[in-house]
Amino acid sequence: MTATTTSTEWWRTAVIYQIYPRSFADSSGDGIGDLAGITSRLEHLAALGVDAIWLSPFYRSPQKDAGYDVADFTDVDPLFGTLADFDAMLERAHSLGLRVIVDIVPNHTSSEHAWFQAALASAPGSIERARYIFRDGRGPDGAEPPNNWESVFGGPAWTRVTEPEGTPGQWYLHLFDSSQPDVDWSNEEVRLEFDRVLRFWLDRGVDGFRVDVAHGLAKHPDLPDFVIDEMIDSMGAAQMGHPAWAQEGVHEIWRRWRAVVDEYDGERILTAEAWVEPLSRMAAWVRPDEMHQAFNFPYLMTLWDASAVKSVIDESLGAFASVGAPATWVLSNHDVVRHPSRLALTAPNPQGVGIGPDSPGLPDPAVARARGRAATLLMLALPGSAYMFQGEELGLPEVLDIPADRRQDPTFARTQGERYGRDGCRVPIPWEADAPAFGFSPSGQAWLPQPAEWAPIARDRQLADPESTLTMYAHALRLRRERRLGSAELTWLDTPDGVLGFTVGDVTVIANVDGPETPVPDGIVLAASRPVAGSIPQDTCVWIAR
């Protein structure tokens, strides 16, 4: 199938910047970022040169999973401000030419959502329970969970409730934390409620949604045991064949949602967070009547190995094009080890495990810096749409030294500290080297501690430095836009093993991943690190303009 691209299809080539609200900018001084803080800093993102922002959840929530446990889908949590603050943020973004995508979390609610509270207070078999996945337990007293599924965050995916009259009762399913009960998408009431939620935000003017757990909503109707050995990895990706994940029934939901967003003008979009492999299978999420984009997690998970990187690029371009969707690219987000650190690890690190001071194969900081910059330049040259995670433009590494009593990712507690989890990429970002909390918060507080070594990489220190990572991102984004790399054709060049070379539009890109010193032609317009005597060593990428 060929894509019919019109110049108004902004999302086909957009660079979308992820804001993690609690860690971006705090205006109130409570140490947690908020919407007014975002509004006050948006001009910097416009200056950086991104096209759109995506905000992780800011809805009412007890914050058991940093807001991915939503208690009210159509209100702002007081931690982040008010609906009026949201409107002001949206208006400011639009006035700066930035589109705004918000997160929607349809697989589960918070256990504090009114629906779940009503379910707990109601009898088995009631309409209140039918919005969730309640089942009787197995074994003589129903004391065993209904099946053997495990939570992505560790431990069983079922929790037993105490019935209103005080006796041990049914179990409810939660693919994530026990504070995040899964809703039952075979129930039309659930579908109608989410139609309402979509319309609520579309009516306010958002440009689209990043759809959380887009591979998880439809479960096998019989909820059978999972019988393959490999139980838990990443956000479900390694569980293909698991009756909870990537079931055919999700596609009907996305077709329904596509019809809703298409009712609105202005090209509102849906982006799937679907940990589905291989890419040819993930392409089903972005068929013309489903979502517009899906995050390219196979690309994100690829190690720093030239042939693997080349293969995943080819596979991505082919798979997405086969359904007329743009390829997407992403290296970092709030769930993964930040890419400079991740690409420099020397020991395996399964997704979701995270890294801390005792992890094996910790990255060498110099290698991490070089590799992170090279990987970024490679990614930003690729045709399609790219996602960035706040702070990557500063070259932030993963934070290792977070004291156990400050860690907040439920993964850490649910695995008794065996997995560090995702806090290391979520540390509030540094704006000004000499300000309290590096300018993140006027009070100097930060919900996760910021490393003192971040002063030299604070944004204000990098702004005027031509060699800084911030400057490199700004130049790359400007050239990407001016030379229309997002809609250009990619053609591979013959290069030595370990080195990738391609042309994209009128730009030639050479990335020395793990190859020999490689001579590069004149005409470099951008370099992750400068060539020495006309050659680039490993962990370098250059753009050359014809």
Per-residue interface string for the shown chain with ligand NOJ, residues 223-242, x marking contact by CB under 6 A: ------------x-------
Q: Determine if 176 is a binding residue for ligand NOJ (CB under 6 A).
A: yes
Which is catalytic among the residues 212, 273, 398, 423? 212
Least Å from the CB of residue 275 to ligand NOJ:
9
- DSSP letters of 339-385? HHHHHT-SS---TTT---TT-TTPPPHHHHHHHHHHHHHHHHTSSSE
Candidate residues 26, 184, 212, 393; the one interacting with ligand NOJ per rule CB under 6 A: 212
Q: Are 448 and 428 in contact (CB under 8 A)?
A: yes
Residue 315: how many other CB atoms lie within 10 Å: 18
Q: Determine if 182 is a binding residue for ligand NOJ (CB under 6 A).
A: no
Q: Determine if 490 is a binding residue for ligand NOJ (CB under 6 A).
A: no
Q: How many chain residues bind ligand NOJ (CB under 6 A)?
A: 10
Candidate residues 65, 150, 182, 423; the one interacting with ligand NOJ per rule CB under 6 A: 65
Per CB under 6 A, contacts with ligand NOJ among 420-479 are none
Classify residue 447 as exposed, middle or buried by CB count within 10 Å of its CB (0-12, 13-18, 19+): buried
Rg of the chain on CA atoms, in Å: 23
CA distance linking residue 201 with residue 39, whole number of Å: 18
Q: Determine if 412 is a binding residue for ligand NOJ (CB under 6 A).
A: no
Candidate residues 45, 105, 250, 261; the one interacting with ligand NOJ per rule CB under 6 A: 105
Least Å from the CB of residue 137 to ligand NOJ:
24
Q: Determine if 150 is a binding residue for ligand NOJ (CB under 6 A).
A: no
Structure tokens at 202: 């579309």
Q: Are 223 and 243 in contact (CB under 8 A)?
A: yes
CA distance linking residue 264 with residue 203, whole number of Å: 9
> Which residue's C-beta sits nearest to ligand NOJ?
68
Q: Determine if 335 is a binding residue for ligand NOJ (CB under 6 A).
A: yes
Candidate residues 59, 68, 172, 389; the one interacting with ligand NOJ per rule CB under 6 A: 68
Q: Are 345 and 313 in contact (CB under 8 A)?
A: no
H/E segment holding residue 134? strand 134-135
Per-residue interface string for the shown chain with ligand NOJ, residues 505-544, x marking contact by CB under 6 A: ----------------------------------------
Active site residue 263: yes
Candidate residues 71, 197, 202, 213; the one interacting with ligand NOJ per rule CB under 6 A: 213
Per CB under 6 A, contacts with ligand NOJ among 232-291 are 235, 273
Which of 322, 456, 350, 334 lies closest to 390, judged by CA? 334
CA distance linking residue 33 with residue 440, whole number of Å: 8
Could you tell me the CA-to-CA distances from 216 to 224, 229, 235, 237 in Å, in that order?
A: 15, 20, 10, 11
Which is catalytic among the residues 263, 314, 467, 497? 263
Least Å from the CB of residue 404 to ligand NOJ:
20
Which residue number, 429 or 511, has a Cβ lying nearer to ligand NOJ?
429
CA distance linking residue 402 with residue 436, whole number of Å: 19
Structure tokens at 279: 């890419």
Q: Determine if 19 is a binding residue for ligand NOJ (CB under 6 A).
A: no
Which residue number, 65 or 290, has a Cβ lying nearer to ligand NOJ?
65
| Pairing status of strand 15-19 against strand 52-55 | parallel
CA distance linking residue 478 with residue 301, whole number of Å: 27
Least Å from the CB of residue 401 to ligand NOJ:
22
Q: Determine if 295 is a binding residue for ligand NOJ (CB under 6 A).
A: no
| Pairing status of strand 535-536 against strand 158-162 | unpaired
| Pairing status of strand 134-135 against strand 168-173 | antiparallel
Which residue number, 257 or 438, has a Cβ lying nearer to ligand NOJ?
257
Which residue number, 210 or 310, has a Cβ lying nearer to ligand NOJ?
210
Which residue number, 85 or 273, has a Cβ lying nearer to ligand NOJ?
273
Which residue number, 110 or 441, has a Cβ lying nearer to ligand NOJ?
110
Q: Which residue has the tokens 């993102």?
A: 45
Contacts to ligand NOJ by CB under 6 A: 65, 68, 105, 176, 212-213, 235, 273, 334-335
Q: Among all residues, which ones are annotated catalytic? A: 212, 263
